[in-house]
Structure 1
Amino acid sequence: MSGHQHHEHSGSDLAEAARAALVAAGEQWTDLRADVFAALSTHASPASAYDIADEVSARRGKRMAPNSIYRILDVFVANNLALRVESSNAYLANSHPGCLHDCIFLVCDECGEATHIDNDAVSKTVRGLAEAADFKPERPVIEIRGLCAECR
């Protein structure tokens, strides 16, 4: 696993850690961003921008366009507050926004659950392979498709 300890946040502690990380990155933590993060952080499985838009719309009492939600989610991914499951174009809140790790997901083909794991040795190897091929890796994402323990 990773070579350092990191704290897994939850609830209001997670929202505060996300806010602090975003502000430290020079971004603003607006009411809309707070609502999007609150909606995202309630999902145990990856959520689409459309799911988040529906939840934020209900919370705010006015329709939010998915394009606006996508833009906020892009900011969250760029600043390590959210993780994107590429194969399903869905998002998970990062439970340790202060730590930067490459995305390694175990994605269940049956129920859609995506488990994020950190393994710095695998990440270092993948980045090394890319660099050896004269390629500059920006954001490695590894997805392993299969069946979770519940669905097997």
Structure 2
Amino acid sequence: MAHAHTHTEPQGADLTVAAQTTLEKAGEQWTAMRASVFAALAGFDKPASAYDIAEAVSKSEGRRVAANSVYRILDLFVGANLARRVESANAYVANAHPDCLHDCIFLVCDSCGQTTHLDNDVITRGVRNAAEAAGFAPVRPVIEVRGRCADCEAK
């Protein structure tokens, strides 16, 4: 078995409801701006930078939204498990299952930028155990594997 847990991955309006519920359970408010940032983030099919998201929100709102404001919201989203940060790309993806807290494994295509999120508790538990054996207290391990996706490899 690849991982020890299962979960559903809501999409569209159901994903927004799951994100709102998760954020509110964390004691935060689901404001109109946070909803707009989440909608923009969830609308990207690849990891998006704060600037990409600010541009998308600016277009949808009909007014300029600063990337600094988006960064603050994204930091909140990462902390509340609504979004994941792809470290090597300085970009973000919406967490497809915000009600499930676990470590990330990202497969990042160097050709097209497509990023796939994997759940594998065996691997991430091994990383945590190795860190702890070295006297390190891991908070949120993120594993990124760079390479080429199946579509780019076939070209």
Per-residue deviation, 1:2: 2.3
SS at match of 2:36: helix
Mapped partners of 2:27, 2:135: distance in 1: 31
Pairs aligned (count): 152
Match of 1:62 in 2: 63
Mapped partners of 2:105, 2:148: distance in 1: 15
Residue type at the aligned position of 2:54: A
Structure-to-structure mapping, 1:1-152, within 5 angstroms? 1-152=2-153
Identity in percent: 62
Mapped partners of 1:15, 1:30: distance in 2: 12
Per-residue deviation, 1:151: 0.2
Which 5+ residue runs of structure 1 have no aligned equivalent?
none
Residue type at the aligned position of 1:35: S
Mapped partners of 2:129, 2:92: distance in 1: 27
Runs in 1 of length 4+ with deviation above 6 angstroms? none
Mapped partners of 1:30, 1:50: distance in 2: 20
SS at match of 1:104: strand
TM-score by length of 2: 0.96
TM-align CA RMSD: 0.6
Residue type at the aligned position of 1:103: C
Which 5+ residue runs of structure 2 have no aligned equivalent?
none
Per-residue deviation, 1:44: 1.4
TM-score by length of 1: 0.98
SS at match of 1:150: helix
